[in-house]
Protein backbone atom coordinates (compact mmCIF):
# COMPACT_ATOMS: atom_id res chain seq x y z
CA UNK A 1 0.00 0.00 0.00
CA UNK A 2 1.06 3.59 -0.54
CA UNK A 3 -0.32 6.82 0.84
CA UNK A 4 -3.33 7.76 -1.34
CA UNK A 5 -2.78 11.04 -3.19
CA UNK A 6 -5.43 13.82 -3.25
CA UNK A 7 -6.74 14.74 -6.70
CA UNK A 8 -6.72 18.51 -6.02
CA UNK A 9 -3.82 20.94 -5.55
CA UNK A 10 -5.30 22.23 -2.27
CA UNK A 11 -5.58 18.68 -0.98
CA UNK A 12 -2.00 17.82 -2.02
CA UNK A 13 -0.70 20.98 -0.33
CA UNK A 14 -2.57 20.12 2.86
CA UNK A 15 -1.22 16.57 2.91
CA UNK A 16 2.35 17.92 2.55
CA UNK A 17 1.77 20.43 5.39
CA UNK A 18 0.35 17.70 7.59
CA UNK A 19 3.35 15.43 6.98
CA UNK A 20 5.92 18.23 7.35
CA UNK A 21 4.45 19.76 10.52
CA UNK A 22 2.33 17.07 12.24
CA UNK A 23 2.32 18.84 15.61
CA UNK A 24 0.04 21.49 14.07
CA UNK A 25 -2.25 18.94 12.41
CA UNK A 26 -5.84 18.27 13.43
CA UNK A 27 -7.26 14.92 12.26
CA UNK A 28 -11.07 15.04 12.28
CA UNK A 29 -13.51 12.22 11.50
CA UNK A 30 -17.17 11.48 11.28
CA UNK A 31 -18.19 8.19 12.96
CA UNK A 32 -20.90 6.18 11.12
CA UNK A 33 -19.94 5.31 7.56
CA UNK A 34 -16.42 6.68 8.04
CA UNK A 35 -14.85 4.98 11.06
CA UNK A 36 -17.70 2.49 11.52
CA UNK A 37 -19.14 0.40 8.66
CA UNK A 38 -22.84 1.01 7.97
CA UNK A 39 -25.04 -1.73 9.49
CA UNK A 40 -28.83 -2.22 9.36
CA UNK A 41 -29.43 -1.55 13.09
CA UNK A 42 -27.76 1.67 14.35
CA UNK A 43 -27.30 0.05 17.78
CA UNK A 44 -24.93 -2.49 16.21
CA UNK A 45 -22.50 0.08 14.76
CA UNK A 46 -18.89 -0.47 15.89
CA UNK A 47 -15.57 1.01 14.81
CA UNK A 48 -13.74 -0.77 12.00
CA UNK A 49 -11.32 -3.18 13.74
CA UNK A 50 -8.20 -1.43 12.39
CA UNK A 51 -9.33 2.10 13.18
CA UNK A 52 -8.81 2.39 16.95
CA UNK A 53 -5.20 1.09 16.99
CA UNK A 54 -4.35 3.43 14.10
CA UNK A 55 -6.01 6.44 15.74
CA UNK A 56 -4.21 5.68 19.00
CA UNK A 57 -0.86 5.62 17.18
CA UNK A 58 -1.66 8.74 15.16
CA UNK A 59 -2.80 10.54 18.32
CA UNK A 60 0.81 10.40 19.53
CA UNK A 61 2.11 11.84 16.25
CA UNK A 62 -0.24 14.75 15.45
CA UNK A 63 -1.52 17.83 17.29
CA UNK A 64 -5.08 16.64 17.89
CA UNK A 65 -7.66 14.05 16.91
CA UNK A 66 -11.38 14.76 17.06
CA UNK A 67 -14.59 12.96 16.12
CA UNK A 68 -17.50 15.13 14.93
CA UNK A 69 -20.66 13.02 14.87
CA UNK A 70 -24.44 13.14 14.80
CA UNK A 71 -24.44 10.56 17.61
CA UNK A 72 -24.50 11.62 21.25
CA UNK A 73 -20.79 11.91 22.11
CA UNK A 74 -20.88 9.28 24.88
CA UNK A 75 -22.65 6.80 22.58
CA UNK A 76 -19.98 7.21 19.90
CA UNK A 77 -17.30 6.68 22.57
CA UNK A 78 -18.99 3.52 23.77
CA UNK A 79 -19.81 2.03 20.33
CA UNK A 80 -16.45 3.02 18.89
CA UNK A 81 -14.22 2.15 21.84
CA UNK A 82 -12.91 5.69 21.40
CA UNK A 83 -11.76 5.89 25.02
CA UNK A 84 -8.87 3.71 23.81
CA UNK A 85 -7.43 6.74 22.00
CA UNK A 86 -5.51 8.98 24.42
CA UNK A 87 -6.36 12.67 24.09
CA UNK A 88 -9.19 12.22 21.58
CA UNK A 89 -12.12 14.66 21.76
CA UNK A 90 -15.61 13.61 20.64
CA UNK A 91 -18.07 16.33 19.61
CA UNK A 92 -21.54 14.78 19.46
CA UNK A 93 -24.98 15.91 18.26
CA UNK A 94 -23.26 17.85 15.43
CA UNK A 95 -21.20 19.74 18.02
CA UNK A 96 -23.75 20.30 20.82
CA UNK A 97 -22.19 17.94 23.33
CA UNK A 98 -18.61 16.94 24.10
CA UNK A 99 -16.68 14.01 25.52
CA UNK A 100 -13.09 14.54 26.62
CA UNK A 101 -10.90 12.65 29.11
CA UNK A 102 -13.83 10.54 30.30
CA UNK A 103 -16.07 13.57 30.93
CA UNK A 104 -19.31 14.09 29.01
CA UNK A 105 -20.92 17.55 28.92
CA UNK A 106 -24.21 18.39 27.22
CA UNK A 107 -26.69 21.28 27.33
CA UNK A 108 -30.35 20.68 28.20
CA UNK A 109 -32.35 19.62 25.12
CA UNK A 110 -34.87 22.27 23.98
CA UNK A 111 -38.60 21.74 24.70
CA UNK A 112 -39.25 21.03 21.01
CA UNK A 113 -37.48 17.67 21.34
CA UNK A 114 -39.97 16.56 24.01
CA UNK A 115 -42.91 17.66 21.85
CA UNK A 116 -41.56 15.82 18.79
CA UNK A 117 -40.99 12.70 20.89
CA UNK A 118 -44.65 12.80 21.95
CA UNK A 119 -46.07 13.47 18.47
CA UNK A 120 -43.87 11.24 16.32
CA UNK A 121 -45.65 7.88 16.84
CA UNK A 122 -48.99 9.33 15.74
CA UNK A 123 -47.44 11.12 12.74
CA UNK A 124 -45.74 7.91 11.56
CA UNK A 125 -49.00 6.05 11.96
CA UNK A 126 -51.06 8.62 10.03
CA UNK A 127 -48.44 8.89 7.27
CA UNK A 128 -48.41 5.13 6.74
CA UNK A 129 -44.73 4.66 7.60
CA UNK A 130 -43.92 1.13 6.42
CA UNK A 131 -42.92 -1.77 8.62
CA UNK A 132 -39.27 -1.50 9.59
CA UNK A 133 -39.37 2.27 10.13
CA UNK A 134 -37.49 2.83 13.40
CA UNK A 135 -37.13 5.84 15.68
CA UNK A 136 -33.79 6.33 17.39
CA UNK A 137 -34.27 8.53 20.47
CA UNK A 138 -30.95 10.28 21.01
CA UNK A 139 -32.09 12.43 23.94
CA UNK A 140 -31.35 15.73 22.18
CA UNK A 141 -32.77 14.61 18.82
CA UNK A 142 -34.92 11.94 17.20
CA UNK A 143 -33.82 10.10 14.09
CA UNK A 144 -36.32 8.27 11.87
CA UNK A 145 -34.57 5.39 10.09
CA UNK A 146 -35.89 3.57 7.00
CA UNK A 147 -32.95 1.26 6.21
CA UNK A 148 -34.83 -1.78 7.50
CA UNK A 149 -38.00 -1.18 5.45
CA UNK A 150 -38.62 -3.05 2.18
CA UNK A 151 -37.97 0.10 0.09
CA UNK A 152 -35.87 2.54 2.18
CA UNK A 153 -35.69 5.32 -0.47
CA UNK A 154 -39.47 5.38 -1.02
CA UNK A 155 -40.09 5.34 2.72
CA UNK A 156 -37.78 8.35 3.14
CA UNK A 157 -39.61 10.25 0.40
CA UNK A 158 -42.97 9.48 2.00
CA UNK A 159 -41.82 10.81 5.37
CA UNK A 160 -39.68 13.77 4.27
CA UNK A 161 -42.31 16.48 4.09
CA UNK A 162 -44.41 15.51 7.17
CA UNK A 163 -41.24 15.24 9.27
CA UNK A 164 -40.05 18.65 8.07
CA UNK A 165 -43.42 20.20 8.98
CA UNK A 166 -43.33 18.61 12.46
CA UNK A 167 -39.75 19.82 13.05
CA UNK A 168 -40.63 23.36 11.95
CA UNK A 169 -43.71 23.49 14.21
CA UNK A 170 -41.51 22.61 17.20
CA UNK A 171 -38.55 24.87 16.39
CA UNK A 172 -36.28 22.02 15.30
CA UNK A 173 -34.49 21.43 11.99
CA UNK A 174 -34.31 18.30 9.82
CA UNK A 175 -30.97 16.69 9.07
CA UNK A 176 -31.21 14.25 6.15
CA UNK A 177 -28.73 11.37 6.04
CA UNK A 178 -28.18 7.83 4.83
CA UNK A 179 -31.68 6.29 5.03
CA UNK A 180 -32.47 8.57 7.95
CA UNK A 181 -34.14 11.90 8.66
CA UNK A 182 -33.21 13.45 11.94
CA UNK A 183 -35.18 16.12 13.84
CA UNK A 184 -32.70 18.06 15.92
CA UNK A 185 -32.07 21.44 17.59
CA UNK A 186 -30.94 24.30 15.31
CA UNK A 187 -27.90 26.50 15.77
CA UNK A 188 -25.06 24.01 15.49
CA UNK A 189 -23.52 21.98 12.68
CA UNK A 190 -20.36 20.03 12.02
CA UNK A 191 -18.78 23.03 10.27
CA UNK A 192 -19.16 25.33 13.27
CA UNK A 193 -17.92 22.58 15.57
CA UNK A 194 -14.84 21.94 13.40
CA UNK A 195 -13.98 25.65 12.95
CA UNK A 196 -14.09 26.18 16.72
CA UNK A 197 -12.02 23.11 17.46
CA UNK A 198 -9.29 23.97 14.95
CA UNK A 199 -9.17 27.56 16.26
CA UNK A 200 -8.96 26.35 19.90
CA UNK A 201 -6.06 24.05 19.04
CA UNK A 202 -4.27 26.56 16.79
CA UNK A 203 -4.25 24.01 13.95
CA UNK A 204 -2.06 24.73 10.94
CA UNK A 205 -3.44 21.81 8.89
CA UNK A 206 -6.70 19.90 9.08
CA UNK A 207 -7.86 16.62 7.57
CA UNK A 208 -11.63 16.00 7.72
CA UNK A 209 -13.12 12.67 6.65
CA UNK A 210 -16.85 12.01 6.33
CA UNK A 211 -19.41 10.05 4.32
CA UNK A 212 -22.79 11.77 4.56
CA UNK A 213 -24.69 14.99 3.84
CA UNK A 214 -24.17 16.24 7.41
CA UNK A 215 -20.45 16.31 6.64
CA UNK A 216 -20.86 18.92 3.88
CA UNK A 217 -20.86 21.66 6.55
CA UNK A 218 -17.47 20.40 7.75
CA UNK A 219 -16.19 20.42 4.14
CA UNK A 220 -17.34 24.08 3.95
CA UNK A 221 -15.42 24.77 7.16
CA UNK A 222 -12.25 23.27 5.65
CA UNK A 223 -12.65 25.61 2.66
CA UNK A 224 -13.09 28.63 4.99
CA UNK A 225 -10.10 27.57 7.07
CA UNK A 226 -7.97 27.48 3.91
CA UNK A 227 -8.88 31.13 3.34
CA UNK A 228 -7.51 31.79 6.83
CA UNK A 229 -4.21 30.05 6.08
CA UNK A 230 -4.97 26.61 7.54
CA UNK A 231 -4.10 23.87 5.03
CA UNK A 232 -7.17 21.66 4.52
CA UNK A 233 -7.75 18.17 3.13
CA UNK A 234 -11.29 16.78 2.68
CA UNK A 235 -11.70 13.02 2.46
CA UNK A 236 -14.86 11.20 1.40
CA UNK A 237 -15.49 7.71 2.72
CA UNK A 238 -17.16 6.67 -0.52
CA UNK A 239 -20.41 4.72 -0.87
CA UNK A 240 -23.10 4.20 -3.48
CA UNK A 241 -25.57 6.07 -1.25
CA UNK A 242 -24.13 9.62 -1.22
CA UNK A 243 -22.72 11.28 -4.35
CA UNK A 244 -22.67 14.90 -3.16
CA UNK A 245 -19.72 14.46 -0.80
CA UNK A 246 -17.50 12.56 -3.24
CA UNK A 247 -17.96 15.33 -5.81
CA UNK A 248 -16.55 17.87 -3.34
CA UNK A 249 -13.76 15.82 -1.74
CA UNK A 250 -10.02 16.24 -2.36
CA UNK A 251 -9.66 12.50 -1.86
CA UNK A 252 -12.18 9.66 -2.14
CA UNK A 253 -11.44 6.33 -0.44
CA UNK A 254 -13.42 3.11 -0.40
CA UNK A 255 -15.60 3.37 2.72
CA UNK A 256 -14.36 2.62 6.26
CA UNK A 257 -11.92 0.02 4.85
CA UNK A 258 -10.34 2.75 2.74
CA UNK A 259 -10.30 5.12 5.73
CA UNK A 260 -8.50 2.46 7.79
CA UNK A 261 -5.94 2.07 4.97
CA UNK A 262 -5.46 5.83 4.82
CA UNK A 263 -4.87 6.02 8.59
CA UNK A 264 -2.38 3.21 8.39
CA UNK A 265 -0.47 4.85 5.51
CA UNK A 266 -0.49 8.22 7.28
CA UNK A 267 0.88 6.61 10.43
CA UNK A 268 3.60 4.83 8.42
CA UNK A 269 4.58 8.04 6.59
CA UNK A 270 4.73 10.07 9.82
CA UNK A 271 6.68 7.37 11.63
CA UNK A 272 9.18 7.13 8.75
CA UNK A 273 9.81 10.88 9.02
CA UNK A 274 10.61 10.43 12.71
O1 LIG B 1 -22.39 11.86 11.97
P2 LIG B 1 -22.32 10.37 11.96
O3 LIG B 1 -21.36 9.82 12.94
O4 LIG B 1 -22.09 9.80 10.59
O5 LIG B 1 -23.78 9.89 12.40
C6 LIG B 1 -24.87 10.06 11.47
C7 LIG B 1 -25.99 9.12 11.83
O8 LIG B 1 -25.43 7.81 11.87
C9 LIG B 1 -26.23 6.74 12.33
O10 LIG B 1 -27.05 6.31 11.26
C11 LIG B 1 -26.32 5.80 10.17
O12 LIG B 1 -25.58 4.65 10.56
C13 LIG B 1 -26.42 3.52 10.95
C14 LIG B 1 -25.49 2.40 11.43
O15 LIG B 1 -24.59 2.01 10.44
C16 LIG B 1 -27.27 3.09 9.75
O17 LIG B 1 -28.10 2.01 10.12
C18 LIG B 1 -28.13 4.28 9.29
O19 LIG B 1 -28.83 3.93 8.11
C20 LIG B 1 -27.24 5.50 9.01
O21 LIG B 1 -28.04 6.65 8.75
C22 LIG B 1 -26.99 7.08 13.57
O23 LIG B 1 -27.94 6.07 13.85
C24 LIG B 1 -27.62 8.45 13.55
O25 LIG B 1 -28.13 8.77 14.81
C26 LIG B 1 -26.55 9.46 13.19
O27 LIG B 1 -27.09 10.78 13.20
Residue 126 lies in a domain: yes
Q: What is the span of the domain harbouring residue 172?
A: 111-184
How large is the ipTM?
0.99
Tell me: do 17 and 88 sit in the same domain. yes
Asked whether 45 lines ligand 1 (CB < 6 A), one says yes
Residue 2 lies in a domain: no
CA distances from 224 to 93, 206, 229, 250, 260 (A): 22, 12, 9, 15, 27
Tell me: do 25 and 100 sit in the same domain. yes
Q: Which of 157, 184, 211 is the last residue of a domain?
A: 184
Tell me: do 123 and 65 sit in the same domain. no
CATH number of the domain residue 247 falls in: 3.40.50.1000
User: What number does the ligand 1 atom closest to the CA of 145 have?
Assistant: 19
Which residue CA neighbors atom 8 of ligand 1 most closely?
Answer: 32
Residue 1 lies in a domain: no
CA distances from 234 to 44, 134, 163, 237 (A): 27, 32, 31, 10
74 has a pLDDT exceeding 90? yes
Tell me: do 92 and 222 sit in the same domain. yes
Tell me: do 65 and 193 sit in the same domain. yes
pLDDT of residue 49: 97
Q: Which long-range contacts does 109-112 make (Cβ < 8 Å, 24+ apart)?
A: 109/139, 109/140, 109/141, 109/185, 110/171, 110/172, 110/185, 111/170, 112/167, 112/170, 112/171, 112/172, 112/185
45 has a pLDDT exceeding 80? yes
Pairwise CA distance, residues 53 & 190, whole Å: 25
Q: In the beta sheet, which residues pair with residue 131?
A: none
Q: Ligand 1 pocket: which of 37, 46, 70, 240 to mutate (most atoms <8 Å of CB)? A: 70
Q: Please, how many CA atoms are within 13 Å of residue 28, restricted to the half-sphere of its CB?
A: 32
Q: Which of 163, 184, 205 is the last residue of a domain?
A: 184
Tell me: do 152 and 74 sit in the same domain. no
- Residue 64 host element (H or E): strand 64-68
pLDDT in tens, 86-132: 999 999 999 999 999 999 999 999 999 999 999 999 999 999 999 99
pLDDT of residue 124: 98
Q: Which of 141, 168, 184 is the last residue of a domain?
A: 184
Q: Ligand 1 pocket: which of 37, 42, 91, 188 to mutate (most atoms <8 Å of CB)? A: 42
Q: What is the β-pairing status of strands 97-100 and 103-105?
A: antiparallel
pLDDT of residue 210: 98
How many domains are there within the chain?
A: 2
pLDDT in tens, 228-267: 999 999 999 999 999 999 999 999 999 999 999 999 999 9
Tell me: do 97 and 195 sit in the same domain. yes
Residues designated catalytic: 30
Q: What is the mean pLDDT of the chain?
A: 97
pLDDT of residue 274: 73
CA pseudo-torsion sign 179, 175, 209, 80: negative
Tell me: do 203 and 136 sit in the same domain. no
* Res. 1 pLDDT band, cuts 50 70 90: confident
Backbone angles phi, psi at 267, to 5 degrees: -60, -45
137 has a pLDDT exceeding 80? yes
Residue 3 lies in a domain: no
Q: How far is the CA of 129 from the centre of ligand 1 (A)?
A: 19
Residue 124 lies in a domain: yes
Amino acid sequence: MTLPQPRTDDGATALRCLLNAPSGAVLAFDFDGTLAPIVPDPRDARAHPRVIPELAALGRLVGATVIVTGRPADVAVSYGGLDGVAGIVVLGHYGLDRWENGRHTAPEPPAGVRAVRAQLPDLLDRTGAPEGTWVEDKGHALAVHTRRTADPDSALELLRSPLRALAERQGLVVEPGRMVIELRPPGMDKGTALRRFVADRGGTAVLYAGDDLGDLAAFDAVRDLRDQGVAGLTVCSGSTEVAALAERADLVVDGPDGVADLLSELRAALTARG
